[in-house]
């Protein structure tokens, strides 16, 4: 079970990092304000959300998980 949680956690962290990089490239390459706002929303929702999920899985059931959950609620 521990291997499964660790694997899902790392997949979530890697996917979150990929979404952050893709969103950052999108913010640099998009031509106008509204499409840049869309790229920024991809970073915020998918990138940060998946990274926080991966960190919560790594932390287990501790106070750190509660703090990460509060941070995720503030972001959303």
Q: Where are the domains of the chain?
A: 2-75
Distance of alpha carbon 14 from alpha carbon 33, whole angstroms: 28
* 33-42 helix and 2-29 helix, angle to the nearest 10 degrees: 170
Q: How confident is the model at residue 17 (pLDDT cuts 50, 70, 90)?
A: very high
- Tens digits of per-residue pLDDT, 19-71? 999 888 888 888 888 888 888 887 888 889 999 999 999 998 999 999 999 99
Q: Judge whether 47 and 35 are in contact, CB under 8 Å.
A: no
Name 32's Cβ contacts closer than 8 Å, sequence gap at least 6. none
Q: Judge whether 23 and 39 are in contact, CB under 8 Å.
A: yes
């Amino acid at each position: 079970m521990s291997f499964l949680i660790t694997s899902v956690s790392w997949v979530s962290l890697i996917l979150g990092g990929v979404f952050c990089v893709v969103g950052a490239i999108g913010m640099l390459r998009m031509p106008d304000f509204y499409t840049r706002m869309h790229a920024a929303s991809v970073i915020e929702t998918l990138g940060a959300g998946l990274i926080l999920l991966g960190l919560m899985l790594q932390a287990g059931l501790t106070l750190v998980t509660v703090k990460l959950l509060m941070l995720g609620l503030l972001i959303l």
